Amino acid sequence: MGKLWAVIKREYLERVRNKWFIIVTVFGPVFFAMIMVLPAYLSVRGIRDAKVGGIRIVDASGVGLGARVAERLATPALQGAPAPAAVPVDLVDSTSLAAAESVLVADVVAKKLTGFLVIEPSTLNDGRARYAGRNASSIGENEQVEGALRGALMGYRMETAGLDASMARELARLRVNVSTERITDEGRGGSGVAAAIFGFAIAFLLYMTIILYGQAILRGVLEEKTTRVAEVIISSVKPDTLLAGKVIGVGAVGLTQYAVWIGSGFLLWGQRARLLGAMGVDGMPTSMPFPSIAPGMLAALILFFLLGYTFYASMFAAVGSMVGSQEEANQAAQPVMMLLVFSIIFVQPVMLNPTGQLAQVMSWLPFSAPIIMPLRMTATPVAPLEIAAVLLGLLVACVVVIWISARIYRVGMLMYGKRPSLRELARWVRQS
């Protein structure tokens, strides 16, 4: 136990004292706050500043639908945003529509116009229109044009059905906002959106932990092997003890960093309204509550986190011990990385349907259970017996992986030359 503690202490202090660790730990919360807040800020700013300007509307509907669309395009996208410039409307009949389009295409080519919207007589029935212009790839501006056409067409159809014009316009502008709340076995469980965000954060956190610290273990093992330091260490410490010390020590570094980040995250969350206000972002949700987490679920999430890290970290250590260069390590680590990528690509389908068969199957597989099962647990109630069974299966998988990795590590740290084949790896496991 004393030698194990010495290895853990060495691995921990060697990394914690590194200046880059201190810099990343201190400025990590600022970076994560920027990547979470800045895109939202830029999106709101982009919507506010987006102007569908320099376009014309060619209206061949015969009922003045183009004027309705132009009126809606002249309305600001967000409250407080500057009003866009008025959009001119050309009234034509269906026989002269092609000639009008030819003239407008020439104007766009000559940069006199940005684009033009064509409203045909059939638009009144099927809602189809055509837009052509230099900004045809701008998703934000296209959505504004489509939204304006949808609202104008809806208002026209309601007026045609006999509804008052002012009432039709008011109904066409109606927006709804449905808040969600989870109901668990204990009762009300808080915001459904917050639970989904929390579950995704847990899955992404474990994914990043395995990527960052699993690679750190791989590089550390490879460095000790190539510099022949491992030969000196193994002469006084058993390879199994050295492997366990590396996994635990690097894991403790990660937990230290996350403890600092989580504490800083709570401080930033408490000041979110002031920070968003200083950036000029108004109307964004600032009172979303955290989902309620029962003590049993919290313990299960921690166990999934620790077992998932141990599962992958042991494989990364084995990979580092059986190669002789960084290039070989990158190639040999690809199967392990593919398991991770295969797990994370199913996060979105599981979030969309956490009770589906895909979510259930993925939560039982050992390599994806640490990522998918916490996501399911926070998205929908899962039977405690199922959680316990998945944890037991993951624990058994960890024991098997550690047993295999320790035997590969024991032989691989003292083997040099070419990278072993699968047959040679199997012989190492049998004979060590």
Structural domain that includes position 119: 50-172
Side by side, which strands form the sheet with 115-119? Answer: 89-91, 55-59, 115-119, 130-133
- Choosing from 143, 172, 201, the residue where a domain stops is 172
Cα separation of 53 and 87, whole Å? 7
Cβ-proximal residues to 369 (8 Å cutoff; 6+ apart), any chain: 304, 308, 362, 363, 390, 393, 394
Give helix then strand counts, H and E, for the chain: 19, 6
One domain for residues 240 and 145: no
pLDDT in tens, 68-112: 888 888 776 545 555 566 788 889 888 888 888 888 889 888 888
Whether the pLDDT of residue 393 is over 90: the answer is: yes
Residue found under tokens 């009008």: 100
Decide if 266 is inside a domain: yes
The secondary structure of residue 357, as a DSSP letter, is: H
Residues 211/340, Cβ–Cβ less than 8 Å: yes
One domain for residues 116 and 214: no
Pairing state of beta strands 115-119 and 55-59? parallel
- Choosing from 142, 172, 202, the residue where a domain stops is 172
One domain for residues 106 and 252: no
Instruction: Identify the weakest region by mean pLDDT among 18-32, 74-88, 315-329, 337-351.
Output: 74-88
Cα separation of 81 and 69, whole Å? 19
> What pLDDT, on the 0 to 100 scale, is given for residue 258?
78
Q: Which helix (H) or strand (E) holds 132?
A: strand 130-133
Cα separation of 187 and 185, whole Å? 6
One domain for residues 163 and 137: yes
Sign for the CA dihedral angle at 138, 140, 141, 146 comes to positive
Cα separation of 98 and 92, whole Å? 10
> What pLDDT, on the 0 to 100 scale, is given for residue 250?
81
Whether the full predicted model's pTM is greater than 0.85, yes or no, is: no
R_g of the chain, CA atoms, integer Å: 30
One domain for residues 221 and 160: no
- Choosing from 172, 205, 227, the residue where a domain stops is 172
Q: How confident is the model at residue 195 (pLDDT cuts 50, 70, 90)?
A: low
Q: Alpha helix locations (H) across 123-238?
A: 123-126, 139-160, 165-172, 192-226, 229-234
Q: Which helix (H) or strand (E) holds 133?
A: strand 130-133
Residue found under tokens 């002249």: 74
Cβ-proximal residues to 428 (8 Å cutoff; 6+ apart), any chain: 407, 408, 410, 411, 412, 420
Residue found under tokens 């199957």: 361
Sign for the CA dihedral angle at 355, 201, 347, 219 comes to negative
pLDDT in tens, 179-190: 555 555 555 555
CATH number of the domain to which 156 belongs:
3.40.190
Decide if 230 is inside a domain: yes
Whether the pLDDT of residue 169 is over 60: the answer is: yes
Whether the pLDDT of residue 13 is over 80: the answer is: yes
Whether the pLDDT of residue 335 is over 80: the answer is: yes
- At residue 283, φ and ψ (nearest 5 deg) are 80, 10
One domain for residues 133 and 259: no
263 three-state secondary structure? helix
Whether the pLDDT of residue 283 is over 60: the answer is: no
